[in-house]
Structure 1
Amino acid sequence: MAVFAVTGWIPMKIAGKGFKWFWNKSKPLAITVVVVISAVKIHSYVKKQNRRKKWNNAGKDVVVLHMFPRGHFCPNLSPFVVKLEMYLRMADIPYQVDYEEPVGPKGKCPWITLNGEEIGDSQLIMEKLGPMYNKDFSSALTPEQKAIAQGMRIMVDEHLLWCLVVWRYVVDAGRSLVVCMELPFYFAIMLRVFLGKIKQSTSAQGIGRHSYAEVEEMGRKDLNALSVYLGEKRYLMGDEPTEVDCAVFGMLSQIVWNSPNSPYLKMIETEFTNLQAYCQRIKERFWPDWNECLKPPLPRSQ
């Protein structure tokens, strides 16, 4: 309550005095502003409700996958979108794609609508869908293998991710975004603020406090661990893919297709070539329509 008193009440009091002054100076204009703001909010609310009505009519047990727009070279520039979409394909779960509202109830992308329920976070979504659709690709793994898979997933989702974030948004200053996807016209205006917030996030997480060379070496160690463990196997845990492959492919897809000139791409092309072959295998098996999932779409033969 004390925090609210300091950070919440004072600005509200100032805003109240400002509106009172504005009201006394020009009542007709103040009324017009209130009416316009109210109309915009009502219109936004109606559109939001109509979208949900449409999503709820997708069909019983049909997943509506909410995501950012498609990329030029990879189906998405979010590793977590690619991760979840691969899982849906691997599990043969019927789904539709939506771009109208990419950020979900937890302020994250992707998220899904399923039978009227809104669910956020790619990993939690997979863990919910597995039992519902009777899909458990890790059931044949030993307890030790499951522990290794869990460790690999966390390394990719929670550590290699930040190495890539530092390169994409701090070192490369977001240039790969401009190259790899179609961005709204106003993005250029917001870019500096956006990059500043990302840099603050890397500092808060901790990795942004290291030098670029140190972060690059951390990323190298992660890629080396994946490469060594994969070895000559077709997939990370053996001859058939499991849930951890969705996370690993989601992250590696960003390096292979969405990080031109990055040090991590050079590592995969020269040092960890089995990871590149691994990505190609997954692409061919689960994304036969890869080119059609790009923006703009390409012919399948390219």
Structure 2
Amino acid sequence: MGSTAKVILYQLFRGPRAPSPSPFAVKLETFLRMAKIEYTNDFSVTQSSKGKIPWMKYDGEAVEDSQFCVEYLNRKLNINLNSHLTEEQRSISHAFRKMAEENLYWCMGLARMENMEFMTTMSGNRFNKLFIWYGIRVYRNQMKAHGIGRHSHDEILHILEGDLRSLSVYLGDKKFFFGDQPCETDAALFGQLSQIYWQCPGSKGEQLLNEKFTNLVDYCERMKATFWPDWEDCITADGTKTATK
């Protein structure tokens, strides 16, 4: 399925070990690759009208929120990466995506914040430690408003392990989460897992993947090989590379 769609993907700078420090940017860019939609990246860190990033423009029309972008493109270009799923599988995939993006995401953020040196590297040394410290404080306040931040550190890591275990058990020995063919939710789950696997060095999350839930590691490597053959060109040791596709 080819497309000449004029998609501009607005996102953060490239990351040092994954193509973006944002799981939602990795999700959306992976979806574009899965659906074979031509796109151009804009790394100017331009926020949407909602004050968030990533977002996109399609032929000049702004679409905000990664999931709304996916749904918009599905409608506009008649895309259905879930056509091989049963109704039950579609319900399960929806539930897993919501778990990952509304719950696992916050646990991942906590794990990443524990490594200040990597946080500096991940930003391409654009920000000093005082600015990053302030950003972490804002993030912790958001976690508290969400509710998950009201738990203790160990309790949040317990939640993290439970989410990863659920994903690992359901994936089993399948190639993708619902069999030999990827679906839309694979992009979303890969977006979250990519951050834990590659961009939370030394964290409890990385340890859990490498020691307990190794099929999720294999899954990440498989998604990378399948949809990111140019992975090394899309990452940078200092987070400053701005390669486009």
SS in 2 for 1:191: helix
CA distance in 1, matches of 2:10, 2:227: 19
Query: Residue 176 of structure 1 corresponds to which residue in structure 2?
Result: 118
User: Relative to structure 1, is the Cα distance of residues 130 and 120 closer, same or farther in structure 2, using a 3 angstrom cutoff?
Assistant: same
C-alpha RMSD over aligned residues: 1.6
8 A Cα contact 2:120 2:129, kept in partner: no
CA distance in 1, matches of 2:98, 2:215: 21
Please tell me the residue identity of whatever aligns with 1:165.
G
Q: After TM superposition, give the deviation of residue 134 of structure 1 in Å.
A: 1.9
Q: After TM superposition, give the deviation of residue 179 of structure 1 in Å.
A: 3.2
8 A Cα contact 1:166 1:202, kept in partner: no
**Which of 174, 180, 185 is 1:239 aligned to?**
180
Q: After TM superposition, give the deviation of residue 73 of structure 1 in Å.
A: 1.1
Q: After TM superposition, give the deviation of residue 174 of structure 1 in Å.
A: 4.0
Q: After TM superposition, give the deviation of residue 106 of structure 1 in Å.
A: 1.4
The percentage of aligned residue pairs carrying the same residue is 39
User: Relative to structure 1, is the Cα distance of residues 198 and 174 closer, same or farther in structure 2, using a 3 angstrom cutoff?
Assistant: farther
Query: Residue 154 of structure 1 corresponds to which residue in structure 2?
Result: 98
Query: Residue 141 of structure 1 corresponds to which residue in structure 2?
Result: 85
Q: After TM superposition, give the deviation of residue 196 of structure 1 in Å.
A: 1.6
SS in 1 for 2:25: helix
Pair 1:216 & 2:160 matched: no
Identify the range of structure 1 (187-196 vs 101-110) with the bigger mean alpha-carbon deviation.
187-196
Question: Relative contact order (C-alpha < 8 Å, sep 6+): which is higher?
Answer: 2
Whose helix proportion is higher, 1 or 2? 1
CA deviation digits over 1:34-73, x for unaligned, max 9? xxxxxxxxxxxxxxxxxxxxxxxxxx72100111000111
Query: Residue 69 of structure 1 corresponds to which residue in structure 2?
Result: 13
**Which of 115, 121, 137 is 1:196 aligned to?**
137
**How high is the TM-score relative to the length of structure 1?**
0.75
Query: Residue 47 of structure 2 corresponds to which residue in structure 1?
Result: 103
CA distance in 1, matches of 2:57, 2:94: 26
CA distance in 2, matches of 1:129, 1:187: 38
4+ residue stretches of structure 1 with deviation over 3 A? none
Please tell me the residue identity of whatever aligns with 1:276.
V
Please tell me the residue identity of whatever aligns with 1:123.
Q
User: Relative to structure 1, is the Cα distance of residues 187 and 104 closer, same or farther in structure 2, using a 3 angstrom cutoff?
Assistant: farther
8 A Cα contact 1:269 1:276, kept in partner: yes
Equivalenced residues, count: 236
CA deviation digits over 1:236-264, x for unaligned, max 9? 01111001101100000001110000101
**How high is the TM-score relative to the length of structure 2?**
0.92
Gaps of 5+ in 1: 1-59
Gaps of 5+ in 2: none
CA distance in 2, matches of 1:254, 1:196: 20
Query: Residue 169 of structure 2 corresponds to which residue in structure 1?
Result: 228
Please tell me the residue identity of whatever aligns with 1:108.
K
CA deviation digits over 1:169-196, x for unaligned, max 9? 3xx1644322334031x44342232222
Query: Residue 204 of structure 2 corresponds to which residue in structure 1?
Result: 263
